[in-house]
Structure 1
Amino acid sequence: MIEAVGLTKRYGDRLAVDQLSFSVKAGQVTGFLGPNGAGKSTTMRMILGLDAPTSGRVTVGGKPFAQAAYPMREVGALLDAKAVHGGRSAYNHLLCLAQTNNLPTRRVDEVLELVGLAAVAKKRSKGFSLGMGQRLGIAAALLGDPQVLMFDEPVNGLDPEGILWIRNLMKALAAEGRTVFVSSHLMSEMENTADHLVVIGRGRLVADCSVQEFIDNNSELSIRVKTPELTKLNTVLTDKGAIVRADGDEALLVTRLGMTEIGDLAFDNGIRVHELSPIQASLEQAFMELTKDSVEYHAAVPAGKGA
C-alpha cells in the first residue's frame, strides 16, 4: 500500500504538488491521471525517495521507501525506460540490477521470458526500439518480484499486442494482491485497465474514486433515439426541457430526460421510435470535463486556408 499525507513539493516559487493526500490499495490497479504539469511525475519521484517533499510524507508499506532494506524486492518502478546503459545487453543490464540487489540470477531469465525479450537478451540495448526499451524497463521493475509496482506511461511505444499484454499483466499482478500504481495519458487504456483513479490538477487532488464513479460524477448520460419523425420528436422533447442534438440522419442525442420519460413522450404523441439506448460517456470525456480548468498549456487549432 502507498499512502501520501499532505504531500507538498515546491521548486522556488512554483508549487508542483500541493497538500496531496491519497492511498493506493493492494489488489487493484490504480490509475494516476492529470494534465501535463499536474505534478504526477514529481509525486511518483517523491514516493520513490528520488525527490524530498517540502512538507508532508509518503510511505510504502507503512514506511518511507528510503528505509527499505532491499528496495527492488519491495517496489518495482518504471519511470524512465531510457535509463539504461546503451552499451549493455538486456541480460547484462538486468544482471547488474540483480547482483546489486542480492537477487537470484535465475530471475533475469525469468523476467526476460515474461516480457518477450528472451530472443534478444544478448543484444545491446542501444539498438532497441522504443517498445523494446519499454519491455526492458518493465522487466527491471518485475525483477525483484515486488509487492508494489509503479509504472509511468508503461504502454509508450508498444504495439497493439504489447498494449494488450501489459494491460493483462497489470490486472494479473493486482489479482495476486499486489499494489499497482499506473500513470498514463491514454484514457482508453486506463478505462480498460484501472479499477480506481487518483486524479490531480495543478498539484492538487481533484478525484479519488472508482472509474465508474468518476465517469458518472463528471459526465451527463445521453440517450440515443432513432426515429423517422425527428422534427416532431425534437419539438416534443425540447418543450419538456431536454437538450437535443442531431446524431446522424435519423437519430437524436438527448440529455436532461431519462429513457422512460422519452419513451412515454414518444408514445403519448404517436411518434414511432426505432431505437432508444443509453450512451455512456467515456473516461476521456469525463476527464476533459473535470480537468478543463487545470490544463497548464492550451494549444490553438490552426486556421484553415482562406480563414
Structure 2
Amino acid sequence: MIEARGLTKRFGSKLAVNQVSFTVLPGQVTGFLGPNGAGKSTTMRMILGLDRPTAGHVTVNGRHYSRLAAPLREVGALLDAKSVHGGRSAHHHLLCLAQSNGIPRKRVDEVLDMVGLQAVARKPTRGFSLGMGQRLGIAAALLGDPAVLMFDEPVNGLDPEGIHWIRGLMRKLAAEGRTVFVSSHLMSEMAITADHLVVIGQGRILADTDMQDFIDRNATSHVLVRSPQMSELGPLMAARGWRVEMVADHSLKVFGARAAEIGDLAADHGMRLHELATVQPSLEEAFMQLTGDVVEYHAGLPEPPPPPTPLGDAPAPPGNGDLP
C-alpha cells in the first residue's frame, strides 16, 4: 500500500505538488492521470525517495522508502527505462541489481524470460529499441518479486503484442493482491486496465475514485440520431425538453432522452430513422472535461470546426429536409 499525506514539493518559486493526499490499495490497478506538468512524475519520485518533499510525507507499506532494507524486494518501479549503462548486457544489468538487494541469481533468468528478452540477454543494451528498453525496465521492477509496483508510461514503445502483454501482467499482479500504481497518457489503455483513478492537475488532486464513477461524474451520455427528416424531428425532440445539438455531419446529439423514447417519438409521427445509437462517455472525454482548465501547455492547432449548436440556431440540412 502507498499512502501520501499532505505531500508538497517546491522547486524554487514553482509549486510542483500541493498538499497531495491519496492511498493506493492492494488488489487493484490504480491509474495516475494528469496533463503534462501536473506533478505526476514528481509525486512518483517522492514515493521512491528520489525527491525530498518540502512538506508532508509518503510511505510504502507504512515505512519511508529510504528505510527499506532491500527496496527491490518491496517496491518495483519503472520510471525511466533509458537509465541503463549502454555497455552492459540486460543480464548483467539485472544481476547487479539482484546482488545489491540479496536476490537469488536465478531470478534474473526468470524475469528475462517473463518479459521476452532471453534471446538478447547477453547483448549490450545500447542496441536495444525503445520497446526492448521498456521490457528491461519492467524486468527490473519485477526482479525482487515485490508487493508494490509502480509504472510510469509502461506501454511507451511497445508494439500491440507488448501492450496486450503488459496490460495482462498488471491485471495479474493486482489479482495476486499486489499494489499496482500506473501513470499513463494512453486513455484507451487506462480505461481497460485501471480499477481506480487518482487524477492530478497543477499539483492538486482533482479526483480519487473508481473508474466508472469518474466517467459518470465528468461526462454525459447522449443519443446519436440520423434521419432524412431531421428538420421536422429536431423541433419535436426539443419540444420535449431534450437538449438537441446538430453536429457537422448533420446528425443530432440528443441529451436527456433514451433511445427508445426517441424511436417512439419518430414512429408516432411517421418519421424514418437511419441511425439511433446510445453513445456512452469515454474516459478520455471525462478526463478532458475535468482537466481542461488546468492544462499547462496548449499546442497550436489548426482552426477547429464550428462547435455544435442548439438545433434552433443551426442551419437547415441541404435540400427540402432530405440528406443528400
User: Does the TM-score normalized on the shorter chain lie above 0.5?
Assistant: yes
The answer to whether the aligner puts 1:52 opposite 2:52 as a matched pair is yes
1:84 alignment counterpart? 84
Secondary structure of 2:58's counterpart equals strand
1:107 alignment counterpart? 107
2:298 alignment counterpart? 298
TM-score (norm 2): 0.89
1:243·1:256 contact (CA, 8 Å) conserved in 2? no
One-letter amino acid matched to 1:278:
T
1:23 alignment counterpart? 23
| Distance in 1 of aligned mates of 2:302 and 2:196 | 36
| Distance in 1 of aligned mates of 2:252 and 2:290 | 25
| Distance in 1 of aligned mates of 2:153 and 2:232 | 49
Q: Which runs of 5+ in 1 are unaligned?
A: none
Once the two structures are superposed, residues 100-151 of structure 1 have per-residue CA deviations (whole angstroms, 9 ceiling, x without a partner) of 1100001000000000000000000000000000000000000000000000
The answer to whether the aligner puts 1:243 opposite 2:244 as a matched pair is yes
Q: How does 1:1-307 map to 2 (within 5 A)?
A: 1-241=1-241, 242-246=243-247, 248=249, 251-273=251-273, 275-302=275-302
Once the two structures are superposed, residues 26-71 of structure 1 have per-residue CA deviations (whole angstroms, 9 ceiling, x without a partner) of 0110000000000000000010111111111111111111111110
2:316 alignment counterpart? none
Superposition RMSD in Å? 1.6
The Cα shift of 1:215 comes to 1.1
| Distance in 2 of aligned mates of 1:184 and 1:254 | 32
| Distance in 2 of aligned mates of 1:112 and 1:182 | 21
TM-score (norm 1): 0.94
The Cα shift of 1:258 comes to 3.2
Once the two structures are superposed, residues 175-205 of structure 1 have per-residue CA deviations (whole angstroms, 9 ceiling, x without a partner) of 1000000001111111111111000000000
Secondary structure of 2:85's counterpart equals coil
Secondary structure of 1:190's counterpart equals helix
One-letter amino acid matched to 1:298:
H
Once the two structures are superposed, residues 260-304 of structure 1 have per-residue CA deviations (whole angstroms, 9 ceiling, x without a partner) of 542443344333445433101111111111101110011111469
The Cα shift of 1:253 comes to 2.2
1:79·1:152 contact (CA, 8 Å) conserved in 2? yes
One-letter amino acid matched to 2:90:
A
1:16·1:39 contact (CA, 8 Å) conserved in 2? yes
One-letter amino acid matched to 1:192:
I
Q: Which moved more, 1:255-264 or 1:180-189?
A: 255-264
The Cα shift of 1:247 comes to 7.2
Secondary structure of 2:144's counterpart equals coil
The Cα shift of 1:256 comes to 3.0
Structure 2 CA distance for partners of 1:166 and 1:80, relative to 1, 3 Å: same
2:77·2:151 contact (CA, 8 Å) conserved in 1? yes
Identity of aligned residues (%): 66
Q: Which moved more, 1:223-232 or 1:269-278?
A: 269-278
One-letter amino acid matched to 1:243:
V
Structure 2 CA distance for partners of 1:274 and 1:299, relative to 1, 3 Å: closer
One-letter amino acid matched to 1:172:
K
The Cα shift of 1:252 comes to 2.7
Q: Which moved more, 1:220-229 or 1:122-131?
A: 220-229
Secondary structure of 1:206's counterpart equals strand
